């Protein structure tokens, strides 16, 4: 006699995980199509327009590429923190801090364009790291939950950028009333309107993944993150690694802000993030702790956002678009979780 039961495995087979994700997305799209058809819309026609607008033209591909850059980096920032068991919910604030620091360098430090870009790059990393420093030290030395501290600092960074872009750093020429003057240094274009921030984001995700997988430091970080007691028994300095990882997480989010300023918008303004920091949390969740997975989940999220914009131009309300987006993400997360389960046979 044998009993069959459902058991959750620690890891999902890659084929099962990919299949579950595609199945979840397909189910979500079918359900959304039925709802659209019931409300008098043409789901097939709308789907064709979404695909055509996103992939059928150079402009659509370029627009998608520009959206993917900050999504990969903010998702990577959250994923890096997860490696040691920390949740960085402040990627939004670190994004703004990096953009703020890079703008200060670009506007007020005279230098040639290549030198200015290098300085802005360093300033973006530094700004993001500084913005997460207090939550990092509070978690390491006082065991203060980083979920609260990183989240609250988001609002401070957003208001700081709104203040400087509409007041002290405002463009006095009248070209833009609620933003800074155009930053002289620009990230070179990589393909069409897509700048070199895209390959930088992809290579950074691959590099951090390799560092975590094949270095002693990465092994210790993963050990502390998965089993703090084992890390303590092995003599690993958990606080030191926690500080290093969280500062790296903030720096990556700050770099996203720098690239948005110097590569896409070319000036600092309120709302420059478009909630990329918060969306990065969903990107990280879909990536399930994989730095390489962040690349693919970032592209998926970018396509979903682009699709929402296209659907709104076709007359759908914002609420309907948000509902479909939430349904896709919700079912995708369920599919990822179900991929861990298997039917196993117990011998009596």
CA distance linking residue 78 with residue 72, whole number of Å:
10
Tell how strand 189-191 and strand 341-347 pair up.
Answer: unpaired
Query: Bridge partners of 189?
Result: 195
Tell how strand 194-195 and strand 189-191 pair up.
Answer: antiparallel
Under 8 Å between Cβ of 90 and 154: yes
The pLDDT score that the predictor gives to residue 344 is 76
**At 80, is the secondary structure helix, strand, or coil?**
helix
CA distance linking residue 84 with residue 78, whole number of Å:
11
The pLDDT score that the predictor gives to residue 176 is 65
**At 346, is the secondary structure helix, strand, or coil?**
strand
Q: What does the pLDDT profile of the chain (348 residues) look like in tens digits?
A: 557 777 777 667 777 777 887 888 888 888 888 887 887 778 888 888 888 877 877 888 898 999 999 999 999 999 999 999 999 999 999 999 999 999 999 999 999 999 999 999 999 999 999 999 999 999 999 999 999 999 999 999 999 999 999 989 998 876 667 889 999 999 999 888 899 999 999 999 999 999 999 999 999 999 888 887 777 777 788 899 999 999 999 999 999 999 999 999 999 998 899 889 999 998 998 888 889 999 998 998 888 888 877 777 777 777 777 777 778 778 877 887 787 787 777 665
Using alpha carbons only, give the angle 321, 327, 329 rounded to the nearest 5 degrees.
Answer: 105
For the chain, what is the total number of helices (H) and then of strands (E)?
A: 14, 4
CA distance linking residue 7 with residue 284, whole number of Å:
25
CA distance linking residue 45 with residue 52, whole number of Å:
10
The pLDDT score that the predictor gives to residue 348 is 55
The pLDDT score that the predictor gives to residue 2 is 58
Domain boundaries in the chain? 69-295
The pLDDT score that the predictor gives to residue 202 is 96
Query: Bridge partners of 343?
Result: 6
The pLDDT score that the predictor gives to residue 175 is 64
**At 128, is the secondary structure helix, strand, or coil?**
helix
CA distance linking residue 323 with residue 200, whole number of Å:
33
Under 8 Å between Cβ of 204 and 125: no
Of 66, 94, 93, 144, which is closest to residue 248 (Cα–Cα)? 94
Of 245, 341, 240, which is closest to residue 7 (Cα–Cα)? 341
pTM for the predicted model, two decimal places: 0.90
CA distance linking residue 279 with residue 252, whole number of Å:
15
Q: Kindly report the length of the chain.
A: 348
Site of tokens 């509902």? 323
Using alpha carbons only, give the angle 279, 281, 98 rounded to the nearest 5 degrees.
Answer: 75
Output the CA torsion sign for 162, 165, 170, 175.
negative
**DSSP state letters, 241-277:** HHHHHHHHHHHHHHHHHHHIIIIII-S-BTTTTTTHH
């Amino acid at each position: 006699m044998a009993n069959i039961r459902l058991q959750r495995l620690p890891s999902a087979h890659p084929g099962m995980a990919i299949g579950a994700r595609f199945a979840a997305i397909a189910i979500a799209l079918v359900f959304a199509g039925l709802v659209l058809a019931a409300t008098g819309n043409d789901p097939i026609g709308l789907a064709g327009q979404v695909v055509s607008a996103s992939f059928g033209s150079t402009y659509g591909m370029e627009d998608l590429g520009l959206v993917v850059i900050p999504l990969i980096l903010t998702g990577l920032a959250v994923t890096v923190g997860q490696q040691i068991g920390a949740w960085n919910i402040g990627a939004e604030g670190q994004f703004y801090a990096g953009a703020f620091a890079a703008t200060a360098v670009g506007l007020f430090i005279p230098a040639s364009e290549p030198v200015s870009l290098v300085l802005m790059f360093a300033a973006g990393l530094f700004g993001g790291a500084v913005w997460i420093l207090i939550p990092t030290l509070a978690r390491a030395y006082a065991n203060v939950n980083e979920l609260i501290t990183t989240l609250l600092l988001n609002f401070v960074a957003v208001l700081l950028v709104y203040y400087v872009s509409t007041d002290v750093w405002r463009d006095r020429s009248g070209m833009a009333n609620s933003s800074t003057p155009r930053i002289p240094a620009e990230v070179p274009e990589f393909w069409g309107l897509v700048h070199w921030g895209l390959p930088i984001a992809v290579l950074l995700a691959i590099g951090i993944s390799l560092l975590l997988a094949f270095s002693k430091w990465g092994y210790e970080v993963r050990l502390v993150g998965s089993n703090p007691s084992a890390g303590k028994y092995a003599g690993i300095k958990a606080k030191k690694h926690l500080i290093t990882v969280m500062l790296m997480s903030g720096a990556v989010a700050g770099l996203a802000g720098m690239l948005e300023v110097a590569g896409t918008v070319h000036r600092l303004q309120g709302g420059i993030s478009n909630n990329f920091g918060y969306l990065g949390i969903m990107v990280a969740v879909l990536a399930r702790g994989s730095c390489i997975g962040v690349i693919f989940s970032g592209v998926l999220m970018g396509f979903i956002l682009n699709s929402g914009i296209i659907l709104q131009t076709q007359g759908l309300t914002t609420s309907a678009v948000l509902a479909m987006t939430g349904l896709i993400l919700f079912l995708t997360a369920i599919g990822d979780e179900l991929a861990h389960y298997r039917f196993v046979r117990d011998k009596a």
